[in-house]
């Protein structure tokens, strides 16, 4: 059995222990929902004690945010290299739209109490997931191709296409048609982030 050797519980420390705790919290969240998640249950599932959790996260709210971010880090969507910023964003946002719509359906049930407890919870979760996606590569490729000026690409602009798609998903609750994503890119995002053509 994982975590046991010759019938004795092994002592995990550092990153290994933290990963076990975050995975236990995610599993408990998905199986039983936030309202039934307890630090004692998470500790038991991870084979440790509640004080060990308390030293890392002050409460279950912080633990859930960390668990969602950990899940997102280990379930990153591939970043297609299509040869253009538009193509890269379109491919990623199509896949993201499907994944996030599925997550929203689960979270709507399992995290209802979490959102009720914190009016900004949905925003916190979306930010945690986006931050874990490793999207700098997408923008770096566009800069290397000369499509954007990285010096003018603020954090808000970097987040813009994902925020807009997320807002539309929150409104509809369904994966977005490709036409909607194309409209977001062509009429809002790309005009703001693209490098102006050089003067002849």
In the chain, count H helices and then E strands.
Answer: 11, 2
Residue 35 backbone dihedrals phi, psi, to 5 degrees: -65, -25
Query: Exposed e or buried b for every residue in 131-154, given b needs 16+ CB within 10 A?
Result: ebbebeebbebbeeeebbeeeebe
Q: 114 pLDDT band (50/70/90 cuts)?
A: confident
CA angle 67, 21, 127 (to 5 degrees): 15
- Scan for tokens 């994944």, then name that residue: 99
| Distance from C-alpha of 85 to C-alpha of 89, rounded to nearest angstrom | 6
pLDDT of residue 103: 75
Going along the chain from its start, the domains and CATH numbers come out as 4-71 (1.10.357.10), 77-193 (no CATH)
Q: Quick one: tokens of 12?
A: 């995990």
Rounded to an integer, the average pLDDT of 63-73 is 88
Nearest to 56 by CA among 48, 125, 35, 28: 48
Cβ atoms of 74 and 19 within 8 Å: the answer is no
d(CA 31, CA 141): 39
Backbone angles phi, psi at 77, to 5 degrees: -80, 145
Between strands 8-9 and 4-5, the pairing is antiparallel
Residue with tokens 């002050």, as numbered in its chain: 58
Q: What is the pLDDT of residues 132-189, one digit of tens each?
A: 777 889 999 999 999 999 888 998 898 899 889 988 988 888 889 999 999 999 999 9
pLDDT over 80 at 13, yes or no: no
Q: How many residues does the chain have?
A: 200
Cβ pair 93, 162 in contact under 8 A: yes
Whole-number pLDDT of residue 173:
80
> Is this model's pTM higher than 0.95 or not?
no
Structure tokens of 15? 């990153």
């Amino acid at each position: 059995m994982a975590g046991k050797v010759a019938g004795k519980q092994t002592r995990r420390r550092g990153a290994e222990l933290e990963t076990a705790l975050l995975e236990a919290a995610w599993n408990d969240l998905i199986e039983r929902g936030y309202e039934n998640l307890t630090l004692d249950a998470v500790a038991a599932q991870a084979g440790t004690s509640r004080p060990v959790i308390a030293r890392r996260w002050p409460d279950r709210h912080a633990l859930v945010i960390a668990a969602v971010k950990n899940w997102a880090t280990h379930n990153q969507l591939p970043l297609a290299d299509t040869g253009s910023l538009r193509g890269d964003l379109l491919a990623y946002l199509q896949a993201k739209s499907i994944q996030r719509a599925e997550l929203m359906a689960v979270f709507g049930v399992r995290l209802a109490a979490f959102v009720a407890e914190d009016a900004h919870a949905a925003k916190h979760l979306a930010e945690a997931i986006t931050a874990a996606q490793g999207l700098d590569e997408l923008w770096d490729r566009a800069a290397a191709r000369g499509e954007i000026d990285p010096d003018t690409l603020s954090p808000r602009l970097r987040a813009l296409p994902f925020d807009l798609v997320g807002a539309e998903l929150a409104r509809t609750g369904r994966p977005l048609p490709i036409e909607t994503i194309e409209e977001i890119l062509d009429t809002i995002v790309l005009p703001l982030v693209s490098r102006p053509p050089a003067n002849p």
